Structure 1
């Protein structure tokens, strides 16, 4: 059996790789290839998954939020790249096989145009984005037409592509989206959210000496140069927090994407009176009086150790919230993490995400959350509801195998 995974972004590649790993465990004879629409497919090559067709890192990183960014991508050969990728898909489709589209409309459209039977792992869209108040939705009383209206508003053109007779199954990212799609007569099944898989701690960061410290996650995002600006904002927020709570000790766990040069972040910390204290293979430790800040690539360690997050990221913030923890976001200037993006993320994550208009608001929001057990319990339940439990990659792989082996 041949299977082609098509994905369009780092988070989508992450999900695809997790499902592929599980498929290989079920049947190692499956011939699997991957086509990353955006980026160079680092996660695929790291996991020995063969790549199909051309792939290239573009200025937008997959986040085309305005005409200026689109122009930059076009200048770097966006149209030519996509045309060559489509040619590769047509070549691949001449033989028997199935396609798994992961992400949004781009891989979904390519899967539809291929004329092959396909699956769609929908991880970008959710009805939480479009519903004013999800608590007012009564699924049992919801009419088919109303469900269809919500589905079209949420998924736009994706809704019509999901009606394809070649679609074998849609796997939505949350249960409420599944219920709406199912009511709208889309072939949907909810098996959990694969973004919550492979997040087990690596134990690269030892924090035994910081048991009495308040542990804060810091996520500046993964896009350059945006991540540098975000880190400036986040460290400004950190300094305001330290000033407001001088009797506490803080440990800031800063999870850095592998593509970001740590040296650039060091310069920002030096400018704000942080002093480098320890450097190991896995992390760099800085001090500011009694407080500690760690720069590391050990993302899973950071999200498990941290109690509260200061986050200006997409998928990474969602994964942290999915562990049942609260996050605070600051409006950025983009191209990814803009005011609009933050407000949409607030809709998606609900009570688990708090919005600070500027770094000065961080201490006030922190005080609202910290040690507020009633609120933290509500946040924990909400985060797990919005993001689902781990294990979805295995269940999706099993379902794909079950359907294709019939």
Structure 2
């Protein structure tokens, strides 16, 4: 009988990681039935794979006002409570409990909440811990860093207990430093690789782009926050002294859609144009110009465009980490949130070893952008740090192998 696996993921970045792992797992075990429960939002990331028959989305789902970042602000938490997040979580818990009664395994991707739900199912479970890394506090100042140093891990004791439980067959971390810290607390943690670096195009720079300075623009995917992030980043870019023509590559997900850019860009002095013939085949859905700056908007183009950039201007989560993992430094500009606030940005910068520099104003960002665009050696130095922190591609295949051996194998033995 083909096996079954339920995958829980609680955020856009977690959905992406889970999808990469599922795709690799289906290459190894094409007969396995994979169900995914996106705990935050509708799980749009999974739609294409669902249409291909690789998985099916199950269980109660709802788009929450905070986009899954209610822990970043009181306002976000109150908005989610008003939208019924407690009832949603209760229904998701009941769904996982019903799944667990059959003895089928559960794979949690994310942080404490999906891990807790996987444990509550009563059957075997595995965990891919995505948001926490000991790099974020090693050498950092402040009470929070001291707390983590005293523990010896960014993960907390109740999380250690869930990961060290007898039914937890797999605990995979994003880097070796974090896995080593957990092993000191009795968790058999591994770090086989980072799926975030899989599926990215490493192609050569098109000839048509070699006369342009190239910046990648990442404002996030949650509206209306993304629009505010993009506005601040583009205002900062306008302060960079004009030299060579500047190409601003703006890959997006489903949001913001091309039409949602129009009021923002018109307000900033951009005009819609037909892209130059030499750039017409890059996959852009829209092109806008302002002085010597040309902006291309490309839904779904991140994996193709990212490696072409010299610098990233980023107020995003997962995509920023992927960008610096390709060796491209970035500058960030925190806003009011709910996701990309000052604390989030500083934590991300520590995680990536300074390959993303947090800027406190548009003027500072413009100054640093001018410096990095004019000093390729410094840009390469910072990019190398990002590559080291993120690791090489291949993590999805390694994780799928560990899931097959530790989670599916043990589940087959228990039910066979």
**TM score, norm. by length of structure 1:** 0.90
- The Cα of 1:130 is off from its aligned counterpart by 1.9
Q: Per the alignment, do residues 380 and 158 of structure 1 end up closer, same or farther by CA in structure 2, a change over 3 Å counting?
A: same
Instruction: Determine whether 1:304 maps to 2:304.
Output: no
Q: Could you report, residue by residue, the CA deviation over 1:334-375 in whole angstroms, capped at 9, with x for unpaired residues? A: 111111111111111112011211111123212332343443
- The Cα of 1:181 is off from its aligned counterpart by 1.7
Q: Map 1:367-382 to 2 at 5 A.
A: 367-382=370-385
Report the 3-state secondary structure (helix = DSSP H, G, I; strand = E; otherwise coil) of the residue aligned with 2:190: coil
Q: Mean alpha-carbon deviation: is it higher for 208-217 or for 6-15?
A: 208-217
Q: Which residue of 1 aligns with 2:368?
A: 365
Is 1:7–1:37's contact at 8 Å kept on the other side of the alignment?
yes
- Unmatched 5+ stretches in structure 1: 135-145
- The Cα of 1:71 is off from its aligned counterpart by 1.8
Q: Which residue of 1 aligns with 2:237?
A: 238
- The Cα of 1:156 is off from its aligned counterpart by 5.4
Q: Which residue of 1 aligns with 2:397?
A: 394
Is 2:321–2:390's contact at 8 Å kept on the other side of the alignment?
yes
Is 1:52–1:88's contact at 8 Å kept on the other side of the alignment?
no
Is 1:197–1:393's contact at 8 Å kept on the other side of the alignment?
yes
Q: Map 1:61-140 to 2 at 5 A.
A: 61-64=67-70, 65-132=72-139
How far apart in 2 are the matches of 1:163 and 1:32? 25
- The Cα of 1:301 is off from its aligned counterpart by 2.1
Report the 3-state secondary structure (helix = DSSP H, G, I; strand = E; otherwise coil) of the residue aligned with 1:309: strand
Instruction: Determine whether 1:250 maps to 2:268.
Output: no
How far apart in 1 are the matches of 2:352 and 2:138? 12
Q: Per the alignment, do residues 310 and 156 of structure 1 end up closer, same or farther by CA in structure 2, a change over 3 Å counting?
A: farther
Q: Mean alpha-carbon deviation: is it higher for 362-371 or for 300-309?
A: 362-371
What root-mean-square deviation, in Å, do the aligned CA atoms of Structure 1 and Structure 2 show?
2.1
Q: Could you report, residue by residue, the CA deviation over 1:310-329 in whole angstroms, capped at 9, with x for unpaired residues? A: 00001110110111110000
- The Cα of 1:255 is off from its aligned counterpart by 1.8
Q: Which residue of 2 aligns with 1:22?
A: 24
Q: Which residue of 2 aligns with 1:51?
A: 57
How far apart in 1 are the matches of 2:149 and 2:363? 42
Is 1:33–1:50's contact at 8 Å kept on the other side of the alignment?
yes
Is 2:101–2:121's contact at 8 Å kept on the other side of the alignment?
no
How far apart in 1 are the matches of 2:257 and 2:149? 46
Q: Mean alpha-carbon deviation: is it higher for 62-71 or for 323-332?
A: 62-71
Q: Which residue of 1 aligns with 2:144?
A: none
How far apart in 2 are the matches of 1:85 and 1:309? 37
Q: Could you report, residue by residue, the CA deviation over 1:163-197 in whole angstroms, capped at 9, with x for unpaired residues? A: 21211121111121122222332111111111111
Is 2:179–2:190's contact at 8 Å kept on the other side of the alignment?
yes
Q: Map 1:194-209 to 2 at 5 A.
A: 194-200=195-201, 208-209=207-208
Is 1:221–1:313's contact at 8 Å kept on the other side of the alignment?
yes
Deviant stretches of 4+, over 6 Å: none
Q: Per the alignment, do residues 147 and 161 of structure 1 end up closer, same or farther by CA in structure 2, a change over 3 Å counting?
A: farther
**TM score, norm. by length of structure 2:** 0.88
Q: Which residue of 2 aligns with 1:383?
A: 386
Is 2:174–2:194's contact at 8 Å kept on the other side of the alignment?
yes
Q: Which residue of 1 aligns with 2:145?
A: none
Q: Map 1:141-156 to 2 at 5 A.
A: 149-151=151-153, 153-155=154-156
Task: Work out which of the residue numbers 36, 39, 47 in structure 2 matches 1:37.
Answer: 39
Report the 3-state secondary structure (helix = DSSP H, G, I; strand = E; otherwise coil) of the residue aligned with 1:402: helix
Count of residues in correspondence between the two structures: 389
Q: Which residue of 1 aligns with 2:340?
A: 337
Q: Which residue of 2 aligns with 1:8?
A: 10
Q: Which residue of 1 aligns with 2:414?
A: none
Q: Could you report, residue by residue, the CA deviation over 1:29-79 in whole angstroms, capped at 9, with x for unpaired residues? A: 112111111111212232112122111111111011222221211221111
Q: Could you report, residue by residue, the CA deviation over 1:250-294 in whole angstroms, capped at 9, with x for unpaired residues? A: 100012221323223222212222121127874211122232111
How far apart in 1 are the matches of 2:150 and 2:4? 34
How far apart in 2 are the matches of 1:133 and 1:360? 26
Is 1:147–1:181's contact at 8 Å kept on the other side of the alignment?
no
- Unmatched 5+ stretches in structure 2: 142-147, 411-416
Q: Could you report, residue by residue, the CA deviation over 1:135-154 in whole angstroms, capped at 9, with x for unpaired residues? A: xxxxxxxxxxx988222x44
Report the 3-state secondary structure (helix = DSSP H, G, I; strand = E; otherwise coil) of the residue aligned with 1:215: strand
Q: Mean alpha-carbon deviation: is it higher for 308-317 or for 359-368?
A: 359-368
